[in-house]
């Protein structure tokens, strides 16, 4: 029994980690709260549905790859056509946040118009009991969620840490002005961050859709969880991963003792706790006041 | 002088009366405008849209007959109570409608019912079934769908007749789910059943694995779940993925095609109560037309809304114009024979003529159980 709760928590934690990292990369680099990341999840799932279920393309894996590429391109387009011009006019983080919220609303309603509000499914396998493993049951999509999330997490970490672009992303995240001074093309890095973040969000959206199908509002809750994980994780990749695991486990193991109606509240109680007692998150260092 | 002006007024009044009579007999058509407050966007939009489709289809037929023309002003509340209240006020104060079709969610009907009652405007819902609306809906609230108090009793009797006396229960945390759960627990425990665990979920939840794990108590004989089709799909799918083989019982909303889409094979063998449709021929004709027009199966709300529109048309044809007259008509009308069976209301505005069938899902189709 307990192992099933842990398995559920692990699955929730893994997908939350992946979403959290996607959000984190954009948030840390571009420095604004990218709300539309929530709809990126939805949009990529609907892209797969469009390619697969409406008979445009009957090859699951290729459809998924196309959808991820589309979402990557969509992220670049969003950055180049909306955020970059706004930034050029000296828009503040709040303005960008509102623009991002606008994108969220427009796309969500467009999806509703095009595909309707009912639950849709692009599942191409039949529903079967999961495989028993250490006293818990895992279905194939759930195993895929856990494996993909962690593999991609490690790859992202390697990319950010060792590649040239990754290092630049880090530099811009730490101090855009200084980065510009040493000759980094900051606008290009913003593009990279948005594309990468969108692709990660897109993968997460498709994984969620494999497990629980698609509807126009599917992205919001997972996105909120990922965002909270990034905040309590203290803005680092492994901090976010740890935060996500904590959230997932707390959500699923917590309800053994407390009534299920509090399941969603758990996430935000943890967030409040961190904001009050450890605002720098898991891994962040407490900032000292700069000496003048 | 006084007599003169009196006769002038009388003369004018008569002239107007006759001229309007002449007009009416020459065109022979009554035009009325009613309002509608339904969720047409947002998370619960599917319910509002299906109801709107039903109303629209009925109105096309009614309006094309030529005797009566009903306009509907649709207001979208996106499933939010505050928006619903504003929309209701707009319809009553600006558009001056005598009747409002709505709302979908019981909680929102509860929110707008007081506004309608204080302005003597009929609020007519195809969907809101919460038991508490019987009392709290006031004099001007009517509904075509039966109250959950009745449905809960049918479901409790069904479980007890199957000798299933130990169940775990999941309900959605809103007015509809809570009142259905309360009524069910009341009848079920009175009849000798025991509810082993009671779990809660929210609208739009997708992950029920831990709810299910918690519900799977050692001695439990069946699950009862009061959720919409949106949550019911993943709930059933995850139940079979977790290897749970218990019988699962649900409410009438599980008769929506959305559940089949999301649950797939795992919907097989699921039981639910569903409003009985005695005149199946009439329903089939309706369903066929609906499929042709909208390209999908009608759900129960589309059918309710279709009947609702005809009842509204009958009320106006009878000569009722104001909210008070409409209410009087609805309370005293003879049963209307529609696609969902007979429709007649008691003094509380609850429909008294609808019964529930015991249904199940077999080979991806809804069939009568046993």
Which tens digit of pLDDT belongs to each residue from B286-342? Answer: 999 999 999 988 888 899 999 999 999 999 999 999 999 999 999 999 999 888 888
Contacts with B307 (C-beta within 8 Å, 6 or more apart), sequence order: B58, B144, B336, B338, B339, B340, B343
B264 and B289 assigned to the same domain = no
B135 and B187 assigned to the same domain = no
Between chains, do B261 and A120 touch, taking CB under 8 Å as contact? yes
> Is residue A180 within 8 Å of A187, Cβ to Cβ?
no
Between chains, do A213 and B46 touch, taking CB under 8 Å as contact? no
Nearest CB to A261: which of B49, B200, B230? B200
Beta strand B68-76 with B222-226 is: unpaired
Give this complex's ipTM. 0.86
pTM here is: 0.79
Residue of B nearest to A211 (CA): B234
**Bridge partners of B76?**
B38
> Is residue B41 within 8 Å of A111, Cβ to Cβ?
no
Contacts with B221 (C-beta within 8 Å, 6 or more apart), sequence order: B164, B165, B166, B167, B246, B247
B161 and B231 assigned to the same domain = yes
Tally of domains within chain B = 2
CATH number at residue B193: 3.40.50.2300
Six token digits for residue B252: 């009438």
Q: From chain A, pick out residues whose CB is under 8 angstroms from the CB of B230.
A: 118-119, 215
Six token digits for residue B12: 């004018």
Q: Is B290 exposed, middle or buried (0-12, 13-18, 19+ CB in 10 A)?
A: buried
Which B positions 179-218 lie with beta carbon below 8 A of chain A?
199-202, 204, 206-207, 209-211, 213-214
d(CA B145, CA A165): 61
Task: Tell me: cis bond preceding B103? Omega within 30 of 0 counts.
Answer: yes
Contacts with B222 (C-beta within 8 Å, 6 or more apart), sequence order: B159, B162, B164, B166, B167, B168, B246, B247, B248, B249
Task: Pick the closest to residue B276 from B356, B336, B333, B221 (CA basis).
Answer: B356
B166 and B205 assigned to the same domain = yes
**Within a domain: B21:** no
Query: Has residue B25 got a pLDDT over 50?
Result: no
> Is residue A45 within 8 Å of A214, Cβ to Cβ?
yes
Terminal CA-to-CA distance of chain B, rounded, Å? 83
pLDDT in tens, A216-246: 989 999 999 999 999 998 888 999 999 999 9
**Within a domain: B25:** no
Residue of A nearest to B172 (CA): A261
B48 and B116 assigned to the same domain = yes
Six token digits for residue B67: 């005797």
**Within a domain: B22:** no
pLDDT in tens, A107-152: 999 999 899 888 888 888 888 888 888 888 999 889 999 999 999 9
What domains appear along chain A, each with residue ranges and CATH number? 2-277 (1.10.3470)
DSSP labels, chain A = -HHHHHHHHHHHHHHHHHHHHHHHHHHHHH-S--TTHHHHHHHHHHHHHHHHHTSS---HHHHHHHHHHHHHHHHHHHIIIIIHHHHHTT--HHHHHHHHHHHHHHHHHHHHHHH-SS-B----S---PPEEETTEEE-HHHHHHHHHHHHHHHHHHHHHHHSHHHHHHHHHHH-HHHHHHTT--HHHHHHHHHHHHHHHHHHHHHHHHHHH-B-TTTTHHHHHHHHHHHHHTTSSHHHHHHHHHHHHHHHHHHTTTS-GGGHHHHHHHHHHHHHHH-TTTTTPPPPPPPP-
B74 and B131 assigned to the same domain = yes
pLDDT in tens, B192-232: 999 999 999 988 888 999 999 999 999 999 999 999 888 99
B227 and B131 assigned to the same domain = no
Largest CA distance in chain A: 65
B179 and B242 assigned to the same domain = yes
B206 and B120 assigned to the same domain = no
Q: From chain B, pick out residues whose CB is under 8 angstroms from the CB of A120.
A: 261
B259 and B311 assigned to the same domain = no
B109 and B68 assigned to the same domain = yes
Degrees (nearest 5) of the Cα angle B137, B143, B148?
Answer: 80
Indicate the pLDDT class of residue A286, thresholds 50, 70 and 90: low
| Sheet architecture: strand order including B141-143 | B68-76, B30-38, B99-102, B122-125, B141-143
**Within a domain: B4:** no
**Host domain of residue B200:** 149-275+357-368
B104 and B153 assigned to the same domain = no
**Within a domain: B17:** no
Which span out of A75-84, B10-19, B356-365 was modeled with the highest average pLDDT?
A: A75-84
Q: Which of A11-20, B309-318, B346-355 has the lowest mean pLDDT?
A: B346-355
């Amino acid at each position: 029994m307990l192992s099933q709760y842990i398995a559920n928590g692990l699955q929730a934690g893994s997908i939350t980690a992946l979403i959290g990292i996607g959000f984190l990369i954009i948030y840390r680099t571009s420095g604004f709260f990218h709300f539309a990341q929530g709809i990126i999840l939805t949009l990529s799932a609907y892209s797969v549905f469009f390619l697969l279920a409406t008979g445009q393309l009957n090859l699951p894996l290729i459809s998924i790859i196309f959808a991820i590429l589309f979402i990557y391109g969509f992220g670049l387009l969003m950055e180049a056509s909306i955020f970059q011009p706004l930034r050029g006019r000296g828009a503040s983080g709040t303005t960008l946040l509102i623009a991002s919220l606008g994108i969220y609303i427009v796309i969500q309603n467009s999806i509703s118009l095009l595909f309707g509000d009912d639950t849709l499914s692009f599942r191409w396998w039949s529903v079967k009991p999961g495989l028993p493993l250490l006293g818990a049951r895992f279905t194939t999509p759930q195993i895929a969620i856990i494996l993909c999330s962690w593999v991609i997490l490690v790859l992202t970490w390697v990319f950010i840490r060792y590649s040239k672009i990754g290092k630049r992303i880090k530099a811009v995240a730490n101090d855009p002005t200084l980065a510009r001074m040493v000759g980094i093309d900051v606008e290009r890095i913003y593009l990279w961050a948005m594309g990468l973040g969108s692709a990660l969000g897109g993968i997460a959206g498709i994984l969620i859709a494999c497990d629980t199908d698609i509807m126009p509002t599917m992205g919001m809750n997972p996105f909120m969880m990922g965002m909270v994980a990034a905040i309590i994780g203290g803005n680092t990749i492994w901090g976010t991963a740890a935060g996500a695991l904590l959230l997932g486990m707390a959500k699923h193991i917590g309800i053994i003792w407390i009534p299920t109606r509090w399941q969603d509240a758990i996430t935000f109680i943890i967030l409040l706790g961190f904001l009050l007692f450890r605002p720098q998150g898991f891994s962040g260092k407490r900032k000292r006041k700069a000496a003048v | 002088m006084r007599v003169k002006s009196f006769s002038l007024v009388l003369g004018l009044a008569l002239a107007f009366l006759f001229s309007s009579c002449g007009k009416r007999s020459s065109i022979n058509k009554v035009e009325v405008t009613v309002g509608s407050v339904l969720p047409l966007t947002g998370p619960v939009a599917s319910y509002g849209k299906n109801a709107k489709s039903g109303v629209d289809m009925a109105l096309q037929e009614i309006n094309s007959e030529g005797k009566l023309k009903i306009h509907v002003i649709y207001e979208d509340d996106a499933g939010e109570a505050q928006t619903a209240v504003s929309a209701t006020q707009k319809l009553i104060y600006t558009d001056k409608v005598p009747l409002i079709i709505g709302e979908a969610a019981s909680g929102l009907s509860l929110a707008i019912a007081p506004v309608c009652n204080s302005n003597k405007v009929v609020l007519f819902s195809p969907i809101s079934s919460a038991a508490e609306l019987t009392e709290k809906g006031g004099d001007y609230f009517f509904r075509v769908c039966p109250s959950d108090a009745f449905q809960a009793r049918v479901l409790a009797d069904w479980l007890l007749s199957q000798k299933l006396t130990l169940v775990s229960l999941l309900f959605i945390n809103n007015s509809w789910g809570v009142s259905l759960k309360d009524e069910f627990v009341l009848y079920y425990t009175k009849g000798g059943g025991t509810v082993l665990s009671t779990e809660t979920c929210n609208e739009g939840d997708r992950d029920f694995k831990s709810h299910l794990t918690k519900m799977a108590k050692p001695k439990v004989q069946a699950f009862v779940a009061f959720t919409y089709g949106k949550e019911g799909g993943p709930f059933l799918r995850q139940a079979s993925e977790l290897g749970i083989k218990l019988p699962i019982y649900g409410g009438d909303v599980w008769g929506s095609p959305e559940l089949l889409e999301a649950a797939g094979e795992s919907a097989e063998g699921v039981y639910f109560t569903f409003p009985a449709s005695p005149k199946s021929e009439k329903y089939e004709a309706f369903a066929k037309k609906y499929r042709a027009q909208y390209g999908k199966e009608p759900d129960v709300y589309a059918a309710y809304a279709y009947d609702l529109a005809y009842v509204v048309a009958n009320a106006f044809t009878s000569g009722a114009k104001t909210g008070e007259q409409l209410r009087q008509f609805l309370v005293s009308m003879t049963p209307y024979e529609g696609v969902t069976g007979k429709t007649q209301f008691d003094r509380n505005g609850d429909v008294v003529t609808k019964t529930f069938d015991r249904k199940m899902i077999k080979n991806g189709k809804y069939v009568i159980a046993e």
